[in-house]
Amino acid sequence: MAQNATIRPQQIERARKLLQDLPEKEDRKTRPEAAELLERDFRKAKEKGYNPRELSQMLKNEGIIIPAYLIKRFFAENGNASIPQKKETTPVEKQAPKKASFIVPDTSDEEL
């Protein structure tokens, strides 16, 4: 690519118009991010006697899908919202390699 590439004034004007006419970008959150932002509210709801399933259903009725298992993370007695870690699996013994099979193509590479 050339270091001194040039851009015509018409292109600059088109770029300016494009950038000025951009719509506002939606700032969406993932479900886990949303649950984290609502942590304090989940804890207060717990103090009022609600369980994760009830809260999840109430949110769902309003079109907000946050599964109960995400809400439950904030119901821990110690106050830590721990995310379950993937358990390490024990290595499985490797099986003996199977005999290799060869496929003979019906057309050569040059014909393709």
Quick one: tokens of 78? 């110690």
Asked if residue 75 lies in contact with residue 36, where contact means CB atoms within 8 angstroms, the answer is: no
Which pLDDT tens digit goes with each residue over 54-84? 999 999 999 999 999 999 988 875 444 444 4
CA–CA separation, 47 vs 66, rounded Å? 19
Mark out the alpha helices in 1-112 (DSSP H runs). 9-20, 31-37, 39-47, 52-61, 68-72
pTM above 0.85, yes or no: no
Contact predicate 53/68, CB 8 Å: yes
Render pLDDT for 7-50 as a digit per residue (tens, 0 to 9).
999 999 999 999 999 988 888 899 999 999 999 999 999 999 99
